[in-house]
Structure 1
Amino acid sequence: MWRYDHKLIKRVRLVRRADGYYVQFCVKVDIKESLDPSHTNVGLDVGLKEFYTDSKGNTEPNPRFYRKGEKRLKFYQRRVSRKKKGKAVGHASRTANRKRAINRLGRTHLKISRQREEHAKRLARCVIHSNDVVAYVREACRRQDLRVKNLVKNHCLAKSINDAGWYQFRRWLEYFGQKFTRQTVAVNPAYTSQNCSNCGEVVKKSLSTRTHACSCGCVLDSPKATLRERDHNAAINILKRALGTVGHTGTWIIDPNALGDPTSTLPDSGLEEPRWVVD
């Protein structure tokens, strides 16, 4: 903190984590940086098998940090369950052993959480650096959204959805978008997977249908039959919906609140709810 004037420090917090105590400083600084225009736009469709698929057909694999560490978590959870609680002064060693086991379990959870956060931060930074406009679905990335809550109620998907970290990814997208003066647009995801990205015709698909094939001749598939075909079509629709909200066909957006979702996960973002004026 030697590089900052003490007057810039607005708040100091002492935070306890499983691996120790940390001091957090809230400093008022200008974080904005300028980047050269890339003259490219991208739409992102998040998923479970692939973390996201973009409108260019590229995919990012889902690391599944919790799934990979689940075996280790169960091991430490069993150790905690086997430790007995001390009931008298003479059983202080039992209490100490249990506390050590709980701390080891907490540190494992903390490691997984940090891995997920760093993964979302790294991807968001790369996406923002490479594109002038980044479009993504609104509902699928909001923690408080009812669609995500309904999905989490499905016990077959709940663990995978929570492990994906979609909300962290959106939060870092918006943060780096403000830092590097890039435009991030959240759009309504309705029918992005069903509509054809070529002609706009509705092509009904079940969750098990991963290939997009339309009567207009647009076919997005591959011999491997991975998720990228259906999600690739959705990513293209997401980008088109973001750029077509106000008839925008280029890269630059004059009004920072002109497209997509009028709210943001960031405080003091400058985005306001729309107001209707009735004469």
Structure 2
Amino acid sequence: MLVIEAKLKGTQSQYSKLDEAIRTGQFIRNTCLRYWEDNKGVTRNDLQKLCSVLAKNKETPWTKKLNSQARQAHADRAWSAIGRFYENCRLGKPGKKGYPKYKKFSRSIEYKNSGWKLSADRRQITFTDGFEVGAMNLWSSRDLVWYSEKQISRVRVIRLADGYYAQFLVNWDRREEHEFQGKMTGIDLGLKEFYTDSDGNTVDNPRYLRKSERRLKMLQRRVSKKHIRGKKQSNRYHKARRALAKQHLKVSRQREDKARKDALALVRSNDLIVYEYLKIRNMVKNHHLAKSISDASWCQFTQWLQYLALVHGVIVIAVPPRNTTVDCSCCGSKVKKTLSTRTHRCNQCGTVLDRDHNAAKNILAKGFKLLAEYLNSTVGHTESGAKSSKAQGETNLWLKNGDVLALSWLDELRTKNYWESPTIFGTPN
């Protein structure tokens, strides 16, 4: 699947009609949720039927303007929230179970196969439902001319702080050629450095939020000064609010761009990548580090790493982080450290390394151990269609989907016993 985003350029009247369509979709979703609360045993099919009832109801004639498949898409959104709540209750998830909430400020609407049409040169999109938005220009760095309308399964219109965008979901199996050279690395995610690999190389942590904090505070003060409680807000208030939203959007885009580029560089230069699986949700409960952890965007980086590894056919292993900082990467003895101790000094073997470098070596060693267990147990079954293997605990192992090239490289790893060599990751046999 590919998601291609293009900015929508049109008149103010067209933007107002898109807002009306978004509000209509929000009304349908909230109505479906209320119907589920008021009636027992409601199914997804019942919510789909409710969309048809709303379109024919004399009290809600505006819902008929929205495309029928778009109405069903919003019913599916409501059912997705309900199903997630049921799943969390069934699994006994600790804490809040995610009870579905009513939407107050929706920002998107989703069309499926109807309600829109692309021009021949793919430079314009025409919305053909009852809101009569008409043709709008598409501004994008990606060219849609290479894809037919049959390959585009969904079109989502989303309103952001700097305008309206159309996101095209294209059915395309993306694959990139990757030359396997046996390069392997383990990475330790951190706050001082964004990550440190097992060779001692580091990538700086840009801290985009910290750098923008001064401007964000100034813009937030402007919004607060122009807000009048209990009265209709002025145009100056909305202008200040949009400026603040644009600055937050800029920070989020900077984070995503950095995460994507770092992940792509890592995947292109390695054939096996091992990283530590961090529970970000638990880590941000530390109020002294929560802002810095969120600013680092580790979760976004690992998501891009998994996706790009699948595209390039590279192996990615996520290992539990337990004792990766405490253990010595050479002799295995435990060296206790506080958070302020940045150097690893082993009293047993005399090893002196940077704290993160030592952890990255331990992470790579854990990855080799798990890979060895996988090869010795299930490598014979991957050719029959196994696509992934789940190891014990919080460990995940992603493999290329049964590709012969990847399997032959794994067999080479097994025959040469790379995971047992001290020259690879610095641990004794």
Shorter-chain TM-score bucket reads 0.7 to 0.9
User: Paired residue for 1:160?
Assistant: 292
Identify the match of residue 44 of structure 1 among 187, 212, 224: 187
User: Paired residue for 1:128?
Assistant: 267
Shift of 1:5: 1.2
User: Paired residue for 1:5?
Assistant: 148
1:103–1:162 distance in 2 versus 1, CA, 3 Å: same
Identify the match of residue 363 of structure 2 among 222, 225, 238: 238
1:125–1:19 distance in 2 versus 1, CA, 3 Å: same
Matches within 5 A, 1:143-222: 145=279, 148-221=280-353
Identify the match of residue 60 of structure 1 among 199, 203, 223: 203
Q: 2:388 aligned with 1:257, yes or no? A: yes
Percent identical: 44
Shift of 1:216: 3.4
Q: CA RMSD in A?
A: 2.4
Amino acid at match of 2:257: E
Distance in 1 (CA, whole Å) between partners of 2:397 and 2:368 is 17
The runs of at least 4 consecutive aligned structure 1 residues that moved more than 6 Å come to none
What secondary structure is seen at the aligned counterpart in 1 of 2:156? strand
Distance in 2 (CA, whole Å) between partners of 1:259 and 1:80 is 49
- 211-220 vs 24-33, which moves further: 211-220
Identify the match of residue 256 of structure 2 among 83, 103, 117: 117
Shift of 1:6: 1.0
Distance in 2 (CA, whole Å) between partners of 1:149 and 1:178 is 25
Amino acid at match of 1:59: T
Shift of 1:217: 2.4
Distance in 2 (CA, whole Å) between partners of 1:249 and 1:74 is 51
Distance in 2 (CA, whole Å) between partners of 1:99 and 1:246 is 55
User: Paired residue for 2:218?
Assistant: 75
1:86–1:137 distance in 2 versus 1, CA, 3 Å: closer
Which one scores higher on RCO, CA 8 angstroms, separation ≥ 6? 1
Shift of 1:207: 1.5
Shift of 1:184: 0.7
Amino acid at match of 2:396: P
- 53-62 vs 239-248, which moves further: 239-248
Contact 1:198 1:218 in 2 (8 A): no
Shift of 1:220: 2.7
Shift of 1:156: 1.4
Identify the match of residue 98 of structure 1 among 228, 237, 248: 237
What secondary structure is seen at the aligned counterpart in 1 of 2:331? coil
Distance in 2 (CA, whole Å) between partners of 1:23 and 1:77 is 29
Shift of 1:70: 0.4
Shift of 1:87: 6.8
Distance in 1 (CA, whole Å) between partners of 2:200 and 2:323 is 19
- 212-221 vs 96-105, which moves further: 212-221
1:23–1:8 distance in 2 versus 1, CA, 3 Å: same
Amino acid at match of 2:271: D
Shift of 1:35: 1.1
User: Paired residue for 2:424?
Assistant: none
Aligned residues: 246
Contact 1:86 1:95 in 2 (8 A): no
Amino acid at match of 2:321: P
What secondary structure is seen at the aligned counterpart in 1 of 2:349? coil
Q: TM-score, normalization: structure 1?
A: 0.82
Q: TM-score, normalization: structure 2?
A: 0.54
Deviations 1:173-196 (A, max 9, x none): 001101111011100111001111
Amino acid at match of 2:348: C
Amino acid at match of 1:39: G
Distance in 2 (CA, whole Å) between partners of 1:247 and 1:123 is 27
Larger relative helix fraction: 2
Distance in 2 (CA, whole Å) between partners of 1:44 and 1:86 is 50
Amino acid at match of 2:283: L
Q: Which runs of 5+ in 2 are unaligned?
A: 1-143, 403-429
